Structure 1
Amino acid sequence: MEEEINLTTAHLSDVLEKLQMSKSTGDLKSRNEKVAHLIKLHIQHMKRTVTMSRPRGQQRTRRRFRMLRSFFLRQLIEMQSKYLQMYAMLRLRQFQLNSTSQCTDEKSTEEVQQATKEYSTSEAVDQTAVNVPRQRQFFEHLMPSFSDKEFLSKLHVTRSTFQTLCRQLSSTLRSAEDLQPPPIVTANKCVALALYFLASGERISLIAEKFALPRARAIKCLKIFCNAVMSGLGKALRRLPQMKVDCENVAAGFQRESNMPAALMGVLGVCSIPIRASGYLLMEFLLDDRMLFRELQLGNGNRAATCSPLVPSFAVIPNTLTSLPKRQINERRIPAFVLAPGDQNYPMRPWLLQRYAEPEAPHEHDFNEVADHLYELSDSALHRFMSRWHFLSQPLDISFQTASCIIQAAAVLHNLLEELSEPHLPEWGNKVKVSQFRATHPMQTPPSEGYEDDSELVERAMDVRDFLARTISSTEI
């Protein structure tokens, strides 16, 4: 571009010089007009030259950047490939030496550790014998320095409750064989890792790095903790009320809360939890009058899954509801029942009632008003559960079996913490929306073999619902 500008300028100078030395008889005015016209043409030519040359220069610059970026990516991929090969070789060598460690002397062990130290990189946290700087160890050095408020915000339990859990589960965790291979995972560290995973919502790979453990080892710790919770504290996930006193308390609690006649044993809910590997997990839960989890059923929502789809609870005869004694309401005996959502293929049964789809009479609207209030309580309980345990806030990067185990343990812990009146901070639920967990696909309709006449059951259910609705209307204040 500079050469073109210089050439144009030289031509202009020559023309101006010739025009100045010209001996024509024209007056000075005409000569000045010619000079001005030449200068104008020169400026236009200069603009055109600059306009055409600049994009070409920019294109050459972009082309060089693309070439450099491609070269850098090739080098990066090559370095990563070499590192993975070296890492696999070191792991194999270390495994071979560890298997014969009883027959080797201390010098060989020191050589292996030195070789591992020389070739380790930032991903060395995946190795079995990982060494993390003291200032980066989360459990050993950061957690003890937390204030009570920081401890609660990180693990969503108070420090005293954490210590109580550690004491109650220590015997079970210490006997777990998967926690014994070096580096030994203590019972307290296992509990801290599990609670941090449940409360933080971070991916398991990041948590494994924070606790200086391989990802597979961190998942094993989670499974061991969940099994210990279910075996030691599983009674917190209480089954459907069966004892007379428990049934009385639950029915009376629902009646105080919603004016539902004292025959309601629980409210059913269904939600969908996404899993990266297998689509989503379908969770069906039964809540009592205190909005604690009584029943929990988990199924793989993926239609292509090998396991059978989730069948609605209490849909098949006989079940625990049909075995409960009938309740006396206004000189009439009606079966104990649960309230089911109307969009999940629940059959209409005397013990499994739903709201009116198209209410017309006043008592039908009254029943729906009570049912809607109970559904709102169910959504509030689910919001409280998911805001306490943020691991449900994003798709789980674990298998269906592992997710099922963790969710059951999380429900047990939730019940336990609710009964202990553990703090539940409002800001935990600021970003949790229950609507995003609503199950969009209905559950599988149960088979009809062995049933009574379906139409007769539906008529009996509608009769029970009408009786309850009229009772609600007659007792309204």
Structure 2
Amino acid sequence: MEPELLRTLLMNVTSTSRLAVELFLQLQSDSEESDDAIDSPDACDNTLLVTDMLSTTERRLWARETSTEWWDHIVLQVWDDEQWLQNFRMRKATFMGLCAELAPTLRRKDTRLRAALSVEKRVAIAIWKMATPDSYRSVANQVGVGKSTVGIVLMQVCRAINCILLRRTVTLGNVQDILDGFAQMGFPNCEGAIDGTHIPILAPPHLASEYINQKGYFSVVLQALVDHRGSFIDIYRGWPGKVHDACIFRNSALFRKLQAGTFFPDRKITVGDVEMPIVILGDPAYPLMPWLMKPYTGKLDRSKDRFNYRLSRCRMTVECAFSRLKGLWRCIYGKLDLGDSSIPAVISTCCTLHNICEGKGETFSEEWTSEVQSLEAEFAQPESRATREAQHRASRIRDALREQFEAESQQ
């Protein structure tokens, strides 16, 4: 081989190896055993030898140049609350409060190779990806990071939110306040409305047929119980779209707690001559239980129709909650481009952020609902199916309520 060609090949190999060696040395210096390694004379000699060999090689760029001008100077310094709301679904003060809560988990240290992303930028990347239909590449170019970084940061932020905020945000609030809220809407001793919604996803690599719902697209199901304001009380997510709502419900922790009487406090009222516990409201897909009221089906007389009207009026809270959830976080109304294990975490994060925004009184733009409605033709929700006959005790409670609503209408 020609000496000049050999020299060129060696220089290329040396230049490529330099970055690997530097990264190795960096990781070695950061490890807990680094002190012992440095104390070793042989280790010091080897380190100096490698450094001397590479010191004469010109360093090459290992990452492409990116611009952070948009984030550092436009978003942080120029945008007003309206612009924050349109793009991040929350005002700047709410965003900064969220960052402060997550900072202990998300903060990273600078390394010799690069400066760590700030907590604010990490949260911004995740929220921007969840709130918009933008691709990973588009988000990366906007914020000034690599495309793969967007995916990594998204899951880091989702895990932090689910670890720190989920349990204390998606939870049962003031019981009496919720009871009063549903009573004003026309249904007594009610503490929530339950329903499921299908989240479109890409075709899974395994058991894909299990994820095809009645409408013919791949999905996972989010089951949610909401209060009278549309805030999530309980969520259960991740089941394949082929599975029926009643089956998902029966396998949930919520069902077991309601069946055992441990989810709500023991507050009963008397309707006519029937004792009635705190109830939740569901559609015909759910089983009729003493603590779960659903509509009458089949041939309806006037009193049954009136009962169904009141129940439906209160059940609209969960439908509105899903509509607002999807309007806020557009990622769950396109096809979620994530791995199977990551999808439930992102859905939980969206529900948590929904409750945070509701609690902070963030403005919801009807324009966002219109955007979601334009996609309904492509991802229509499967219709509910009726289940088995109601249990005797539950039927008596429902009939007593129907008779009371009928008597109230006569007054």
**TM-score normalised to the size of structure 2?**
0.74
- Residue 368 of structure 1 deviates from its aligned partner by 0.6
Which amino acid in 2 is paired with 1:206?
A: S
The equivalent of 1:75 in structure 2 is none
Is the aligned partner of 1:163 residue 2:96?
yes
Is the Cα contact below 8 Å between 2:282 and 2:315 reproduced in 1? no
Q: Which of 249, 268, 282 is the equivalent residue of 1:340?
A: 282
Which amino acid in 1 is paired with 2:187?
A: M
Task: Structure 2: state its 5+ residue gaps.
Answer: 1-13, 30-46, 205-217
Q: Provide Cα deviations, 1:44-95, integer angstroms capped at 9, x if missing partner.
A: xxxxxxxxxxxxxxxxxxxxxxxxxxxxxxxxxxxxxxxxxxxxx9988744
Q: Which of 65, 69, 72 is the equivalent residue of 1:131?
A: 65
- In 1, the alpha carbon distance for the partners of 2:111 and 2:298 equals 57
**Closer, same or farther: CA 113–458 of 1 in aligned 2, 3 Å:** farther
What pairs up with 1:401-412 in 2 under 5 angstroms? 401-412=341-352
- Residue 221 of structure 1 deviates from its aligned partner by 1.5
Structure showing greater radius of gyration is: 1
- In 1, the alpha carbon distance for the partners of 2:190 and 2:112 equals 48
- In 1, the alpha carbon distance for the partners of 2:347 and 2:56 equals 43
The 3-state SS of whatever aligns with 1:224 is helix
Q: Which of 204, 210, 227 is the equivalent residue of 2:159?
A: 227
- In 2, the alpha carbon distance for the partners of 1:268 and 1:179 equals 48
The equivalent of 1:295 in structure 2 is 234
- In 2, the alpha carbon distance for the partners of 1:141 and 1:423 equals 25
What pairs up with 1:130-279 in 2 under 5 angstroms? 130-133=64-67, 137-148=69-80, 149-174=82-107, 182-240=114-172, 246-257=174-185, 259-261=186-188, 263-278=189-204, 279=218
Is the Cα contact below 8 Å between 1:327 and 1:333 reproduced in 2? yes
Which amino acid in 2 is paired with 1:164?
A: G
**Closer, same or farther: CA 314–94 of 1 in aligned 2, 3 Å:** closer
The 3-state SS of whatever aligns with 1:221 is helix
- Residue 359 of structure 1 deviates from its aligned partner by 4.5
Which amino acid in 1 is paired with 2:149?
A: R
- In 2, the alpha carbon distance for the partners of 1:138 and 1:144 equals 9
- Residue 353 of structure 1 deviates from its aligned partner by 2.0
**Closer, same or farther: CA 267–321 of 1 in aligned 2, 3 Å:** farther
- In 2, the alpha carbon distance for the partners of 1:220 and 1:179 equals 18
Q: Provide Cα deviations, 1:135-177, integer angstroms capped at 9, x if missing partner.
A: xx44234323442132222112111211222222212211x68
Q: Provide Cα deviations, 1:170-206, integer angstroms capped at 9, x if missing partner.
A: 12211x6899984412111111111211222212342
The equivalent of 1:470 in structure 2 is 403
Is the aligned partner of 1:397 residue 2:325?
no
- In 1, the alpha carbon distance for the partners of 2:20 and 2:283 equals 54
Is the Cα contact below 8 Å between 1:236 and 1:412 reproduced in 2? no
Which amino acid in 2 is paired with 1:170?
A: A
CA RMSD between the two structures: 3.4
Q: Which of 325, 329, 332 is the equivalent residue of 2:270?
A: 329
Q: Provide Cα deviations, 1:422-473, integer angstroms capped at 9, x if missing partner.
A: 1222222221128555542879x9xxxxxxxx97x61211111111112222
Is the Cα contact below 8 Å between 1:179 and 1:221 reproduced in 2? no
- In 2, the alpha carbon distance for the partners of 1:179 and 1:265 equals 51
**Closer, same or farther: CA 361–432 of 1 in aligned 2, 3 Å:** same
Is the Cα contact below 8 Å between 1:239 and 1:294 reproduced in 2? yes
**TM-score normalised to the size of structure 1?**
0.65
Aligned residue pair count: 352
What pairs up with 1:15-34 in 2 under 5 angstroms? none
Is the Cα contact below 8 Å between 2:220 and 2:237 reproduced in 1? yes
Name the one with the larger helix percent: 1
Q: Provide Cα deviations, 1:101-159, integer angstroms capped at 9, x if missing partner.
A: 6745499489574254xxxxxxxxxxxx442145xx44234323442132222112111
The equivalent of 2:296 in structure 1 is 356
Is the Cα contact below 8 Å between 1:240 and 1:320 reproduced in 2? no
**Closer, same or farther: CA 211–464 of 1 in aligned 2, 3 Å:** same
Q: Provide Cα deviations, 1:278-332, integer angstroms capped at 9, x if missing partner.
A: 232111111111110011101231559xxxx834447855636633424113464
Task: Structure 1: state its 5+ residue gaps.
Answer: 1-88, 117-128, 446-453
Which amino acid in 2 is paired with 1:473?
A: E
- Residue 369 of structure 1 deviates from its aligned partner by 0.5
Tell me the percent identity.
20
Is the aligned partner of 1:310 residue 2:248?
yes
**Closer, same or farther: CA 106–335 of 1 in aligned 2, 3 Å:** farther
The equivalent of 1:21 in structure 2 is none
- In 1, the alpha carbon distance for the partners of 2:160 and 2:349 equals 9
Instruction: Work out which structure has the larger RCO, using CA pairs closer than 8 Å and 6 or more positions apart in sequence.
Output: 2
**Closer, same or farther: CA 90–190 of 1 in aligned 2, 3 Å:** farther
**Closer, same or farther: CA 178–318 of 1 in aligned 2, 3 Å:** farther
The equivalent of 2:318 in structure 1 is 378
Q: Which of 221, 233, 247 is the equivalent residue of 1:282?
A: 221
